[in-house]
Amino acid sequence: MSSKSEEYLKQRMSETNFKKIKNLENEKLFGFLREYVEILNPKNIVVCDDSKEDAEMIKKMALETGEEKKLAQNNSTAHFDGINDQARDPLHTFFLTDAPIDPNIATTDRTAGLKEIREIMSGMMKNTTMIIRFFSLGPLNCELSMQAVQITDSPYVSHSEDLLYRSGYEQFKKMKDKSRFFRFVHSEGELTESLVSKNLDKRRIYIDLNELIVYSANTQYGGNTIGLKKLAMRLAIKLASDEGWLCEHMFLMGVNGPNSRKTYFTGAFPSACGKTSTSMVTGENIVGDDIVYIKERNGKAYSVNVERGMFGIIDGVNQKDDPVIWDVLHSRKEIIFSNILVGPDNMPYWTDSGVAIPESGKNFSGEWTKGKLDSKGKAIPASHKNARFTLRLDYLKNLDSNLDNPEGVEVGGMIYGGRDADTTVPVEEAFDWTHGIVTKGAGIESETTAAALGKQGVRKFNPMSNIEFLSVSIGKYIKMNIDFSKKLKKVPKIYSVNYFMKDETGNFLSDKVDKGVWLKWMELRVHNEIEAIKTPTGYIPKYEDLKFLFKKVLNKDYTKELYEKQFSFRCSKWIEKLDRLEKQYKDTIPDTPKELYGEYEKQRKRINELQSKKGDIVSPFNL
């Protein structure tokens, strides 16, 4: 017998589209779709399954509506967001909750928030087509994956998600728990003549943790609308905290070791600290560049890349530093370029690419010529600083073969990257899991540069590089990371890296390519094949091992002088770092786990003992 929700949907959809919904046999899904079809009141409804025909239909819709335009480069398109809709909107992004989560996390009353977003969305699709799609966050037929349904009226958003995520219509049929799935409701709202969201004053991104639903209205920018990315991550972190697994803002990569061995690492880095470049190191294999799920199985930690694509910042991508991505961006592959410059030759251009920028073209501001000023009299760049490329990972020649492995991959090591000029050595191994989580993961700081903010040397606190996306309190999040190892018989090793140490004249002590050596050292350490030097904060490489690896990996001579500069222990600087971190936790994070303070106290004691015996700056040869 059909439910009321089924009967309603049958009346609103064509027979073909309704059949696709009915075949999923999911009453919770039916009820969700009925509610938002009623609220949004679309002119038409399109339901997509996993077929190539449906994927092609969405791409065609994106071109027909004008949300994307063909480029001269075969199979590539350009999309532009509004000039004031170029980034995530933290001022209008809230968790809908009945009680506050954490003083650092923006929340609003759930009842009032739901009332507001439903009013804003009322009738929003009356002149447009609703697209309903299904996706799998993670490989198909994988117990680590999560299923999701997306409602949107933007073919660009739907097309982007098709590149970024695995189609999951058939997965919905296989779900054991038919109530456990993520839901996303998006409408770009009324559009201007330039086909960008008009009512930005009513832009809202609301996240309902009770029902695992994300609402996004009056916006087109991918970070606000591609629900399965950072918005889904917020849902997953809450679910993970309830169920005892981890959702992390990490890359996943395979590092090739001796005798055809491959060891998998995850890595969390704040912006501009080397995350993507590490995951794309020459000679290694990328599984994913942004988000992972990590779960225990048979006493080991297994991970999957939630995505199958890359939504990457294109600013600064060049042939020398990013050869693999560069080749793809100049190929005949299907790519969406957003907020770049389209030149007179109908080709994409972006800032700091190493290629001359045309004097005119079209960009996020409309028709553009060099020297064009914005409303504040500031020059508008050719491409936006946050311009992006959207592509599938299987375009990359260094893609790992386990991207779609339903078993996931065993995690051998976890890397936490930061940015400072004077404290943290290029690579270091934690003493154990808890020490690594609280001193390296929860101790991440990213140092600002003069070019970025006009004030150099400010350390930005960012535990696990995930503070922007947490849906549980910071203290609870750290505790769930600490406790995860209790499930494990084989515990991954934890490392910190810092590519930005400088000498006394302000020059970087490491080259960009050196990270390939640090990865090889970590891979050997995971398997206990080389020894290390114990410092108050962890284990560092021996000189002879690095000398060998620099020659083998990069064919570079590595001197004792450079090693000493890079790996000397700086006692006072470390005490300053611990003081900053402890103050941050005591002042702003009331539920900081006791393990953190315990590890910091032990670390401080070790540093003070070393300083009293051997001075303030201690050579690695004297450790």
Which residues are identified as catalytic? 273
Please give the structure tokens belonging to residue 503.
């000498």
Please give the structure tokens belonging to residue 278.
């590490």
Q: Which of 592, 582, 587 is nearest to 479 (CA)?
A: 592
Cβ atoms of 74 and 186 closer than 8 Å: no
Single-letter amino acid, residue 553 = V
With b meaning 16 or more CB within 10 Å and e meaning fewer, what string describes 337-348? bbbbbbbeeebb
Cβ atoms of 337 and 343 closer than 8 Å: no
Q: Which residues pair with 83 in a beta bridge?
A: none
Q: Which of 245, 596, 588, 322 is nearest to 443 (CA)?
A: 596
Cα angle, residue 150 at apex, residues 75 and 181 outer, rounded to 5°? 130
Please give the structure tokens belonging to residue 39.
């609220």
Q: How far is CA 308 from the centre of its chain?
A: 13
Largest CA distance in the chain: 81
Cβ atoms of 67 and 154 closer than 8 Å: yes
Cβ atoms of 79 and 451 closer than 8 Å: no
Number of neighbouring beta carbons within 10 Å of residue 534: 13
Q: Are strands 366-369 and 348-349 parallel, antiparallel or unpaired?
A: unpaired
Cβ atoms of 214 and 235 closer than 8 Å: yes
Spatial separation of the C-alpha atoms in residues 481 and 466, rounded to whole Å: 12
Give the 3-state secondary structure of residue 85.
coil
Q: Which of 284, 258, 540 is nearest to 267 (CA)?
A: 284
- Helices 594-614, 571-588: inter-axial angle, 10-degree rounding: 160
Spatial separation of the C-alpha atoms in residues 342 and 253, rounded to whole Å: 33
- In terms of Cβ atoms closer than 10 Å to its own Cβ (0-12, 13-18, 19+), residue 4 is exposed
Place of tokens 């990490």: 250
Cα angle, residue 309 at apex, residues 307 and 314 outer, rounded to 5°? 130
Q: Report in angstroms the alpha-carbon separations of 442 from 355, 458, 598.
A: 40, 17, 13
Helix (H) or strand (E) holding 129: strand 129-137
Spatial separation of the C-alpha atoms in residues 413 and 344, rounded to whole Å: 48
Q: Report in angstroms the alpha-carbon separations of 362 from 78, 376, 408, 470.
A: 10, 20, 43, 37
- In terms of Cβ atoms closer than 10 Å to its own Cβ (0-12, 13-18, 19+), residue 50 is middle
Spatial separation of the C-alpha atoms in residues 229 and 408, rounded to whole Å: 19
Q: How far is CA 269 from the centre of its chain?
A: 10
